[in-house]
């Protein structure tokens, strides 16, 4: 046991021993190392005498020794100080101290456990190339060669017969036959025979003896146009309509109306289709279907003259037709009275005229007229029979302006 410098400088002392018969444990006496005595300073003389301090025995000099492990250190007897006998306590018996276990050495602490034993390697015999190929390739099936190739007789083999496909049964065989089926078949065959005989007779036999009848198509009557204006208008134009329908006629007239003229002027318009001038009766009934009930074709000629009147309120179309010879004008006036109950006359206009009022009788100069005013400004449906002409105008201003062009 090694002591540090501080422990060496401390004075050594003896511990009192416990009296016999006591249960108190004895403290072991610490190991004291010998050291040279320190010089004591001189004590000054004192007049008062003090009791002398008790003297302790000086620890014997000891040398440093190493106690081997497992050695039991005997109890050290510590001299008790000089005390009176009545004050000294009995010392307890010294207990036995078990030996300390040996300390593990450094190599044993850092030792690494040995590796686990490996499994023994079983040597395998070498495999020849022929054996490896025999292991990889499956066994070959026996060859059934003819007797001439094998050089010996061979047992005959039984040739398998092909399996016949199952026969199909038609639906006619499954369904029961009815007597009516034979009757229908007979009737159908009879009709085919009769039709063939009739066609042969009509197309072959009859034309051979009586000659073929050829139908003549109805001739297309072309209307020759001649203007009814004795005085020329400010402008003239010709429009061609694809079909004689209200939509095509109105669209063609609207496109022509965009070509403006000065106010209070009239443009003559010729309406034709692929066959020439359009028939007046077909033209009016296409624009106003209500006129088809009057049947004006028997009273008016096919030719007519159309016009457009321009003013600040818009463009107003009008039409002039001519009565046929020997036609009573009063009868035509009476037939035109049916327009009073007509409700669909908007097709005569290029734009909506609004709501019409009932027809009324009117008069311009010496000519009797009939008119129905619309809710749109300038819209007024006027018609009159003056001499041999039927004048229809969608504006009263246009009606008055067209009469001088007719020489009226």
Domain ranges of the chain: 235-406
SS3 215: coil
- What is each CA distance from 394 to 94, 180, 363, 374, 382, in whole angstroms? 154, 72, 16, 10, 6
Other beta carbons less than 10 A from residue 29's beta carbon: 17
- The pLDDT of residue 370 is 92
- The pLDDT of residue 189 is 83
* Torsion angles phi and psi, residue 386, rounded to 5: -120, 110
- Are 388 and 366 a contacting pair, CB within 8 Å? no
- What is each CA distance from 314 to 160, 350, 378, 394, 402, in whole angstroms? 102, 9, 8, 11, 16
Give average pLDDT by consecutive 10-residue segment, the chain, 408 residues: 46 50 53 58 56 53 52 51 60 67 56 61 57 54 52 57 59 56 77 77 68 50 80 92 91 92 93 90 89 82 94 94 89 85 83 89 90 91 92 94 92
pTM: 0.48
- What is each CA distance from 324 to 48, 112, 280, 296, 388, in whole angstroms? 189, 141, 13, 10, 8
Angle between helices 280-287 and 246-257 (to 10 degrees): 90
**In whole angstroms, what is the distance from residue 356 CA to residue 347 CA?**
13
**In whole angstroms, what is the distance from residue 326 CA to residue 182 CA?**
71
- The pLDDT of residue 298 is 85
Side-chain-side CA neighbours of residue 361 (13 Å):
5
Q: Under the phi-then-psi rule, with left for phi > 0, alpha for psi from -120 to 50, and beta for the rest, what region is 134?
A: alpha
């Amino acid at each position: 046991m090694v002591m540090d410098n501080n422990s060496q400088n401390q004075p050594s002392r003896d511990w009192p021993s416990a009296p016999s018969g006591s249960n108190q444990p004895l403290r072991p006496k610490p190991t004291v190392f010998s050291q040279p005595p320190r010089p004591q300073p001189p004590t000054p003389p004192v007049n008062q005498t003090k009791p002398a301090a008790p003297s302790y025995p000086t620890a014997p000099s000891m040398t440093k020794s190493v106690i081997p492990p497992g050695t039991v250190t005997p109890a050290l007897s510590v001299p008790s100080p000089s005390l009176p006998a009545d004050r000294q306590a009995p010392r307890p018996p010294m207990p036995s101290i078990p030996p300390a276990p040996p300390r593990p050495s450094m190599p044993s602490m850092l030792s690494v456990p040995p590796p686990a034993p490996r499994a023994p390697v079983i040597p395998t015999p070498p495999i020849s190339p022929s054996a490896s190929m025999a292991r990889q390739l499956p066994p070959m099936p026996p060859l059934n060669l003819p007797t001439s190739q094998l050089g010996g007789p061979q047992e005959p083999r039984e040739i398998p017969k092909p399996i016949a496909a199952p026969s199909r049964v038609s639906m006619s065989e499954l369904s029961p036959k009815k007597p009516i089926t034979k009757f229908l078949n007979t009737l159908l065959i009879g009709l085919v025979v009769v039709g063939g005989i009739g066609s042969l007779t009509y197309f072959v036999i009859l034309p051979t003896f009586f000659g073929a009848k050829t139908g003549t198509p109805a001739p297309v009557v072309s209307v020759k146009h001649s203007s009814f204006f004795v005085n020329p208008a400010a402008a003239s134009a010709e429009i061609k309509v694809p079909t004689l329908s209200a939509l095509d006629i109105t669209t063609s007239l609207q496109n022509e109306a965009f070509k403006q003229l000065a106010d209070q002027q009239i443009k003559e318009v010729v309406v034709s289709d692929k066959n020439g001038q359009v028939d007046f009766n077909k033209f009016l009934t296409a624009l106003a279907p209500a006129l088809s009930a009057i049947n004006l074709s028997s009273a008016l000629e096919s030719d007519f003259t159309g016009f457009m009147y321009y003013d600040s309120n818009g463009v107003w179309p009008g039409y002039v037709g001519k009565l046929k010879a020997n036609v009573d004008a009063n009868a035509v006036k009476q037939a035109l009275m049916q327009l009073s109950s007509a409700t669909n006359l908007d097709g005569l206009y290029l734009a909506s005229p609004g709501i019409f009022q009932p027809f009324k009788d009117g008069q311009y100069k010496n000519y009797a007229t009939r008119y129905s005013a619309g809710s749109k400004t300038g819209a007024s449906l006027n018609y009159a029979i003056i001499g041999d002409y039927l004048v229809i105008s969608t504006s009263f201003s246009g009606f008055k302006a067209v009469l001088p062009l007719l020489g009226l």
